[in-house]
Structure 1
Amino acid sequence: MNSEKEQKQSGMSPVESRAAFSLAGIFSLRMLGLFMILPVFALYAEELQGVTPVLIGVAIGAYGLTQALLQIPFGMLSDRIGRKPVIIGGLLIFALGSVVAAMADTIWGVILGRALQGSGAIAAAVMSLAADLTREQNRTRVMAVIGLSIGMAFAVSLVLGPMLNAVIGVPGIFWLTAVLAVFGIGIVLNLVPDPRESHFHRDTEPVPAMFGKVLRNANLVRLDIGIFTLHMILTATFIAIPLALRDFAGLEGANHWMVYLPVLLLAMGLMIPFVVIAEKRRKMKGVFLGAVFAIALAQFGFMWLHQSIVGIGFALLVYFTAFNVLEATLPSLIAKVAPAESKGTAMGVYSTSQFIGAFLGGLIGGLVYAEYGLQGVFLFGAITTLFWLAVASGMQKPSYFMSYLIKVGRMDDAQAWELQAQLREIEGVGDAAVVGEEGVAYLKVDSQVVNYEALEKFSVEEKVVD
């Protein structure tokens, strides 16, 4: 009995570890499929029938529109029919989109394929399954493993894309993407554990009744604008960067990985101390605003230095260091700012904003490139980032509260209100919401101040941290 309790407190169980790494594998395979064409598509698209600069951008970003429209509905569908059927169905749609894009000889065929890829919007269902398979005290670790896998897959895709393009071409990359989706289905069927039960998780899933509250929160909206802008600039930038490397810096497309690989490795190393300073030393706002400013500097760098490999490489290093810092700190800020009972809703709006940004980045980037060329795209990125900096500078200093869940047992509304008031009186508790029908208290606590012993007496089980 004691050994079982020690296992629960010391780390993830074998089932939780298996869930974390298998679900991370599914995410990684899908991300590779979406992003391997990012550094090569602008060069390949010149061979397609009906191509224009605007349609190149639409093809790159088309997945974002369908993903934005369908990710929350697919998550809700998984509550009704089960997580695995939705994930498998989404991967099949993703594979179909990859096949359509691989067989297309017109730009419109590729756009259709990319839109179908995005229609396989499984992110919310995967996160819900991760929540089903993990105890609350280990959920943060599992989500961290998945998040790390997404970041690694993005970095690998930028290097693999040019390498594979030299061997199998962009159609071959799309065919490979379809194969990766099939592998993902195999992981779902053979490696991902089956949950004992699937139920709604307010901390990871959107609550429709909470959308209004989240959208009226000025600080959350600032962060949504942030992730929207970050991915809009990313998509627009990669319409221009491959062309700049080839046409101005004189580097053949097959060799672009020689720039991306060292830049991404250095950027991942450089971002670590900034994230540590932001989180451990509680300098989140300063680091965040500094990273936004660095994105603007990188865009100006692309404008001024895009005629040399060294210049582009230096600007990319600044860009990806800042990009990695922002990708790490923005979700953390959402978790800190979101009310205790609406974290899942806030994350749903945040993710939707990200995908809409990716779509509009392709569309607007293509329009700007058609009218003003490469420098116009980079100037658009710089001006947009400076606008983001102005918006972000008004955000309040984050509270550094962490989410904390207590299973308190089911109760009526009067009991829930009474318990909620008691919890808010405990030192270190910044916010508390007790949902009686779920039997869960959702808290925001300062881990350096909170009196955990005082919280434990309200728990019907051992304490759980998210």
Structure 2
Amino acid sequence: MRKVSALLLATERRAISGLAGLYASRMLGLFMVLPVLALYADALEGATPLLVGFALGVYGLTQAVLQIPFGLLSDRIGRKRVIAFGLIVFALGSMVAAMADSIGGIIIGRALQGSGAVAAAIMALLADQTREQVRTAAMATIGLSIGASFAIAMVVGPWLASWAGLSGVFWFTALLTLLGLIVLWRWVPPAPRRLRHRDVGLDRQQFKSVIIRPDLWRLDISIFTLHLVLMAIFVAVPFRLQEAGIPLAHHGLAYLGIMGLSFVAMVPLMIVAEKKQQTKVVCLLAIGAIAVSLGGLGSSFSHGYWLFIGLFVFFTGFNLLEATLPSMLSKLAPAGAKGTAMGVYSTSQFLGAFLGGTLGGLLANVWGLNAVFIGCGVLALLWWLAMWKMPSPPPLSSEVVALNDTPPDMLDLLLERLADVVGVEDVMVVPEERLVYLKVNRQQLDRDALTRLIPPKS
């Protein structure tokens, strides 16, 4: 079997590498502030733990509000134009934060960063630039780039802040964003004709059916709570490392060790989840690990080695859920509704980040740092209970097949015959897109029967 990279066209390789780089650099800029902002707040006029938490999470509010409108706007005026505008707004927000000497200025800058909500437009452009048979791999590359950007941010943020201060972190982010504009216009291939992609973009007709499904709601609650907890604890974690005697310049090394070990620990659990069809069990294990680690971090024992063990357990659970939740969503979303389901999921994630920063700041402001961990631990327990009764997701995958030269008057018959193919669980035929969206069990799929019904284009 040939490698996926060998199947990619030159334009697809450029689109995937360029857009993944844009997405990752943008997330890097947002994440680099997490491990350092609370430590530098004393130098900011008007700073309180509550406002520091609000500054950490406010980008999530503007991102959640604007990401779907930006995606829809890109359908009308062009992907690259919307992405370029969003990057300029993001760079402007970074510059505002870099020049700020008060917590209010940081909040305005972070809100502007979130206003450059180009995630949906980037995904839509990537879908425009790739063929159906390689699109899943292309989207997975974006997912990997996000995970890598978070890990890098945890290491680079403290080092950069110790060398150039908090403003240096924001100036570096602005520079990365401006370089991203060059990548967008000089490296990413010219945008082809804009198309609707139901596996990537929002379909208004399916919006209601997606948001009322209990299994999808549980996943939305999961990503909401996961990022709420993440953002909340970074009001307190930097101080815990400082209390452990680690200077800021070495915080990055601490995160490097913790994140590296957590990635190693999650690999066998990922294999169990996907190969043994134990996704729900692994998900509950990860949520439970997060709840236990947060309880430990909020106790009187959270010092010395126990601090690092607690953070290791937390980030193992976090990274595991970051990987398994989108996989569960892909399995559960109806045929042709994956993009809509992912839009609701992403919005939930950003709202969780916003409320998490605010909640963490509030708890620290009123009851102290331990209360941040304890409060988040209680939320994690409630989350575990909410996921307990969720049915295990079936081993299904999404596929998109081109209709090619199938006559319009044969589409209803084709739909019936596709539904009868062994291994096909759900079908949506979209004549205006000349595509068929399928949910299939690849272990059972009769690939020959599917090929006979829809022969590949010669």
> Normalization by structure 1: what TM-score?
0.95
Matched, 1:400 2:395: yes
Among 168, 171, 181, which residue is 1:172 paired with?
A: 168
Among 264, 268, 278, which residue is 1:269 paired with?
A: 264
Q: Distance in 2 between matches of 1:444 and 1:24?
A: 26
Matched, 1:257 2:252: yes
Q: Relative to structure 1, is the Cα distance of residues 239 and 405 closer, same or farther in structure 2, using a 3 angstrom cutoff?
A: same
Q: Which moved more, 1:402-411 or 1:145-154?
A: 402-411
Q: Which moved more, 1:188-197 or 1:173-182?
A: 188-197
Q: Distance in 1 between matches of 2:103 and 2:3?
A: 55
Among 418, 425, 432, which residue is 1:430 paired with?
A: 425
Q: What secondary structure is seen at the aligned counterpart in 1 of 2:299?
A: helix
Identity among equivalent positions (%) equals: 47
Q: Distance in 2 between matches of 1:99 and 1:268?
A: 33
Matched, 1:129 2:125: yes
Q: Distance in 2 between matches of 1:8 and 1:107?
A: 47
Q: How does 1:108-119 map to 2 (within 5 A)?
A: 108-119=104-115
Q: Distance in 1 between matches of 2:437 and 2:124?
A: 17
Among 369, 382, 393, which residue is 1:374 paired with?
A: 369
Matched, 1:190 2:199: no
Q: Distance in 1 between matches of 2:383 and 2:278?
A: 19
Q: Distance in 1 between matches of 2:3 and 2:98?
A: 48
Q: Distance in 2 between matches of 1:86 and 1:97?
A: 17
Q: Which residues of structure 1 form unaligned runs of 5+?
A: 1-5
Q: Distance in 2 between matches of 1:305 and 1:445?
A: 50
Q: How does 1:55-66 map to 2 (within 5 A)?
A: 55-66=51-62
Q: How does 1:354-365 map to 2 (within 5 A)?
A: 354-365=349-360
Instruction: Letter of the 1:378 partner, please give it.
Output: F
CA contact (8 A) 2:80 2:184 kept: yes
Q: Relative to structure 1, is the Cα distance of residues 394 and 307 closer, same or farther in structure 2, using a 3 angstrom cutoff?
A: closer
CA contact (8 A) 1:54 1:367 kept: yes
Tell me which residue corresponds to 2:100.
Answer: 104
Matched, 1:285 2:280: yes
Tell me which residue corresponds to 2:11.
Answer: 15
Instruction: Letter of the 1:126 partner, please give it.
Output: I
Q: Distance in 1 between matches of 2:126 and 2:178?
A: 20
CA contact (8 A) 2:80 2:191 kept: no
Among 284, 291, 295, which residue is 1:296 paired with?
A: 291
Q: What secondary structure is seen at the aligned counterpart in 2 of 1:318?
A: helix
Q: What secondary structure is seen at the aligned counterpart in 2 of 1:450?
A: coil
C-alpha RMSD of matched pairs (Å):
1.8
Q: Relative to structure 1, is the Cα distance of residues 13 and 374 closer, same or farther in structure 2, using a 3 angstrom cutoff?
A: same
1:314-365 CA distance string (max 9 Å, x none)? 1111111111110001111111000012110000000000000000001111
CA contact (8 A) 1:244 1:306 kept: no
Q: Relative to structure 1, is the Cα distance of residues 442 and 307 closer, same or farther in structure 2, using a 3 angstrom cutoff?
A: closer
Q: Distance in 2 between matches of 1:406 and 1:433?
A: 11
Among 327, 333, 343, which residue is 2:322 paired with?
A: 327
Q: Distance in 2 between matches of 1:28 and 1:265?
A: 18
Q: Which residues of structure 2 form unaligned runs of 5+?
A: none
Q: Which moved more, 1:301-310 or 1:21-30?
A: 301-310
Q: Distance in 1 between matches of 2:180 and 2:334?
A: 34
Per the TM alignment, residue 17 of structure 1 is displaced from its structure 2 partner at its CA by: 1.5
Q: Relative to structure 1, is the Cα distance of residues 258 and 450 closer, same or farther in structure 2, using a 3 angstrom cutoff?
A: same
Among 438, 454, 458, which residue is 1:459 paired with?
A: 454
Per the TM alignment, residue 8 of structure 1 is displaced from its structure 2 partner at its CA by: 9.3
Q: Distance in 1 between matches of 2:167 and 2:64?
A: 25
Tell me which residue corresponds to 1:211.
Answer: 207
Instruction: Letter of the 2:190 partner, please give it.
Output: D
Q: Distance in 2 between matches of 1:312 and 1:9?
A: 42
Tell me which residue corresponds to 1:338.
Answer: 333
Q: Relative to structure 1, is the Cα distance of residues 376 and 429 closer, same or farther in structure 2, using a 3 angstrom cutoff?
A: same
Tell me which residue corresponds to 2:415.
Answer: 420
Q: Distance in 2 between matches of 1:348 and 1:410?
A: 31
Tell me which residue corresponds to 1:32.
Answer: 28
Q: Which moved more, 1:341-350 or 1:428-437?
A: 428-437
Per the TM alignment, residue 305 of structure 1 is displaced from its structure 2 partner at its CA by: 5.9
Q: Distance in 2 between matches of 1:107 and 1:143?
A: 36
1:144-186 CA distance string (max 9 Å, x none)? 1111111111101011111111100001111111101001101
CA contact (8 A) 1:336 1:402 kept: yes
> Normalization by structure 2: what TM-score?
0.96
CA contact (8 A) 2:4 2:134 kept: no
Runs of 4 or more above 3 Å deviation: 6-10, 409-418, 460-463
Q: What secondary structure is seen at the aligned counterpart in 1 of 2:189?
A: coil
Matched, 1:161 2:164: no
Tell me which residue corresponds to 2:148.
Answer: 152
Matched, 1:312 2:307: yes
Tell me which residue corresponds to 1:3.
Answer: none
CA contact (8 A) 1:411 1:437 kept: no
CA contact (8 A) 1:300 1:382 kept: yes
Instruction: Letter of the 2:216 partner, please give it.
Output: L
Tell me which residue corresponds to 1:89.
Answer: 85
Tell me which residue corresponds to 2:386.
Answer: 391
Tell me which residue corresponds to 1:69.
Answer: 65
